């Protein structure tokens, strides 16, 4: 199709010769023509007579700048993204894999817009879900319809749709529609002020679950319906009417929000503030170490524990009547949904075998969807997260334009982020691999993508692997393992430090990251800082008041922790790292030696063979125990 050049200067609108010349110039420079056919004088192909007429017109008007738009257009045309050609990466096998993944996504189709929701196969279910949401908003008196004030900014809104699967085989999935405000259109200082809202830490969840298994406690789950709709707004906010539910009598009116709504920037903070005020008013204490952990007593026999992640709650106690009592108080203030025995929290599946005094925490469903998303379901399995032959570094980043274009179509960052969520939740064995692969997210190359696919192969064969909280025949202790490699980073020659902490033998906290000089000593420092936090939380809720024991396989780091030896080699270390000597002398923590073979933190610092990886996982009770 011929393109048009806008804003081209012309002398006469009725000059047919000049119009023809302009048309010919643009048609020749169209992307449909090969660059090789563009000559210095592209209009000669239309005949000598016509060409002479055009030259006469150009000479008479004396407008050499007419050719400038053509030259600019040639530069634009020559850009790679303007050339339409099939991407070589889409081979037949890739297309089949993509089709299979797309087909599985269609089976759990979630519409992205209101139009898709009311025109899809499940439109009746989505319509019912939207009606339930609107009835809830109307019951809560969330807004009133008013005339739009002049020069007043109106916040838009939209519908979000989600299918919530059930772990029960005979329970159908639940269709959920939620009306949300487009908070990104709000202005700071006018539509909102403070927006920070805390959520419970993942390691706090794991600590409570480990205690549930150790003390054989009851564990229940609650969900707050329309959690963000329970408080009044301090600011004046106008919102457009919901799509599909516009008032027929007042179509030009807008919604004056009287109460909060999902999507508003201040909504999470205000909800947390309201919940915190209520829960503390009934005699429940808030932890000083985690703002979303609440407990009623320092005596574990009489206490009830509540974990809050936005509107999801876990409640644990030795006595069921204490949980029931707290539930009734919460239901009197908020619209709650009682989910009974806890089975899933934040995508983590809770599998409990009470006869064996055991609890498993895993993400099988999430990992299966992840593997399907990246078309790695039928791949050849791998038995370790990474192998040493990859030799990952920034040197593997794209060196040619062709490779850069290829990597632009590769979902490298998405894959790293998806796996990272599982790593911080239930998979410590992925920590070292993700720590390395995430360093190249800004400019990944084919070598990095091959390593990422290797990791996905490992995940595809270990989707059932998770944390095993088997506390039978164990003592309640706090143990840490720490390790560091030496200049393992090939780009900046930095070292990688890692630590793993267990409570009653159950892994609850881990980390793998780059460190600076004297890595072994600094790794112990970071581990002791984590141990102090864990000690404080466990002591606050009345569970554990003993000292933490940290094991390292570095003899020099062990000596440095207890004595100021090697002054010439360590005087460059910042003073803040030497506080561990005070903690050791106070008796808060104890640092001991462990052999490298029995140090599970070794898998967090470097690539280890399968035999060593399996041994490390067994020491931390990580595996397929469900």
- Give the start-to-end residue ranges of the domains of the chain: 16-82, 114-346, 373-466, 474-623
pLDDT band of 192, cuts 50, 70, 90: low
pLDDT digits (tens, 9 = 90+) for 436-490: 899 888 889 999 999 999 999 999 999 999 999 987 767 889 999 998 877 666 7
13's CB contacts (< 8 A; 6+ apart) are none
**Helix, strand, coil % (nearest 5) of the chain?**
45, 20, 40
pLDDT at residue 566 is higher than 70: no
pLDDT digits (tens, 9 = 90+) for 99-138: 334 333 434 568 889 999 999 898 899 999 999 989 888 8
**Is 368 in a helix, a strand, or coil?**
helix
Measured between alpha carbons, how far apart are the two ends of the chain, in Å? 62
Q: What pTM was estimated for this model as a whole?
A: 0.74
Whether the CB-CB separation of 603 and 419 falls below 8 Å is answered with: no
Per-residue tokens: 490: 């090939």
pLDDT at 293: 95
Whether the CB-CB separation of 149 and 238 falls below 8 Å is answered with: yes
Cα 92 to Cα 94: distance, rounded to the nearest angstrom: 5
pLDDT digits (tens, 9 = 90+) for 5-53: 444 444 444 444 344 444 334 333 333 333 343 334 433 344 444 444 4
Location of structure tokens 């390790």:
483
pLDDT digits (tens, 9 = 90+) for 599-626: 998 898 888 999 999 999 999 999 887 6
Per-residue tokens: 452: 């990422």
- Cα–Cα distances (Å) from 9 to 6, 18, 74, in that order, read 9, 11, 18
Cα 307 to Cα 567: distance, rounded to the nearest angstrom: 46
pLDDT band of 294, cuts 50, 70, 90: very high
Cα 160 to Cα 179: distance, rounded to the nearest angstrom: 6
pLDDT at 424: 92
Mean pLDDT score, 331-351: 90
pLDDT digits (tens, 9 = 90+) for 87-110: 444 343 343 333 334 333 434 568
Cα 339 to Cα 344: distance, rounded to the nearest angstrom: 10
Alpha helices (H) in 30-154, listed in sequence order: 48-61, 67-77, 92-107, 114-117, 123-139
pLDDT at residue 165 is higher than 80: no
Pick the CATH number of 474-623 from 2.60.120.10, 3.40.50.1000, 3.30.420.10, 3.20.130.10: 3.30.420.10
pLDDT digits (tens, 9 = 90+) for 198-246: 889 999 999 999 999 999 999 999 988 877 776 777 778 899 999 999 9
373's CB contacts (< 8 A; 6+ apart) are 101, 418
């Amino acid at each position: 199709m011929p393109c048009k050049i806008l804003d081209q200067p012309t002398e006469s609108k009725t000059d047919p010769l000049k119009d023809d010349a302009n048309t010919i110039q643009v048609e020749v420079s169209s992307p449909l023509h090969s660059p090789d056919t563009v000559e210095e004088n592209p209009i000669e192909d239309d005949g000598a007579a016509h060409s002479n007429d055009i030259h006469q017109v150009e000479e008479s008007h004396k407008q050499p700048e007419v050719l400038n738009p053509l030259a600019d257009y040639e530069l634009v045309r020559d850009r790679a993204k303007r050339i339409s050609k099939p991407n070589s990466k889409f081979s037949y096998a890739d297309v089949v894999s993509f089709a299979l993944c797309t087909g599985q996504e269609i089976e759990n189709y979630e519409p992205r817009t209101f139009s898709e929701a009311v025109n899809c196969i499940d439109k009746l279910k989505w319509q019912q879900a939207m009606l339930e949401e609107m009835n809830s908003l109307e019951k809560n008196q969330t807004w009133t319809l008013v005339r739009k004030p002049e020069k007043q900014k109106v916040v838009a809104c939209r519908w979000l749709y989600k299918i919530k699967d059930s772990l029960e085989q005979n329970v159908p999935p639940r269709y959920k529609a939620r009306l949300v405000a487009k908070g990104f259109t709000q202005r700071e200082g006018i539509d909102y002020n403070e927006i920070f809202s805390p959520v419970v830490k993942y390691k706090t969840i794991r600590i409570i679950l480990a205690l549930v298994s150790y003390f054989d406690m009851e564990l229940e789950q609650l969900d707050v319906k329309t959690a963000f709709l329970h408080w009044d707004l301090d600011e004046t906010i106008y919102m457009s009417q919901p799509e599909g539910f516009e008032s027929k009598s007042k179509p030009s009116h807008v919604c004056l929000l009287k109460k909060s709504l999902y999507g508003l920037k201040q909504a999470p903070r205000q909800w947390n503030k309201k919940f915190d005020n209520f829960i503390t008013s009934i005699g429940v204490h808030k932890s000083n170490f985690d703002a979303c952990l609440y407990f009623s007593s320092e005596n574990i026999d009489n206490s009830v524990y509540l974990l809050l992640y936005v509107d999801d709650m876990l409640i644990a106690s030795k006595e069921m009547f204490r949980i029931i009592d707290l539930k009734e108080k919460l239901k009197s203030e908020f619209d709650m949904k009682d989910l009974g025995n806890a089975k899933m929290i934040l995508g983590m599946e809770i599998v409990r075998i009470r006869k064996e005094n055991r609890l498993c925490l895993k993400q099988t469903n999430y990992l299966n969807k992840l593997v399907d998303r990246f078309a790695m379901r039928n791949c050849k399995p791998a038995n370790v997260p990474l192998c040493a032959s990859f030799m990952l570094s920034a040197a593997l980043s794209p060196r040619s334009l062709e490779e850069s274009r290829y990597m632009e179509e590769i979902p490298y960052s998405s894959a790293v982020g998806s796996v990272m969520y599982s790593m911080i939740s239930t998979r410590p064995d992925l920590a070292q691999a993700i720590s390395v692969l995430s360093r190249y997210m800004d400019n990944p190359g084919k070598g990095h993508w091959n390593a990422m696919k290797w990791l996905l192969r490992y995940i595809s064969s270990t989707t059932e692997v998770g944390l095993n909280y088997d506390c039978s025949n164990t003592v309640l202790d706090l143990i840490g393992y720490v390790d560091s490699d030496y200049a393992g980073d090939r780009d900046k020659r930095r070292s990688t430090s890692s630590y793993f902490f267990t409570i009653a033998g159950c892994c609850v906290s881990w980390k793998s990251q780059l460190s600076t000089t004297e890595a072994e000593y600094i790794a112990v420092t970071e581990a002791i800082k984590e141990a102090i936090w864990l000690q404080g939380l466990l002591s606050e809720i009345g569970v554990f008041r003993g000292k933490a024991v940290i094991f390292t396989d570095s003899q020099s780091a062990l000596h440095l922790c207890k004595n100021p030896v090697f002054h010439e080699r360590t005087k460059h270390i910042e003073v803040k790292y030497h506080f561990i000597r005070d903690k050791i002398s106070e008796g808060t923590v104890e640092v001991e030696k462990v052999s490298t073979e029995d140090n599970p933190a070794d898998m967090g610092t470097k690539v280890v063979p399968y035999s060593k990886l399996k041994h490390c996982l067994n020491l931390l009770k990580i595996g397929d125990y469900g």
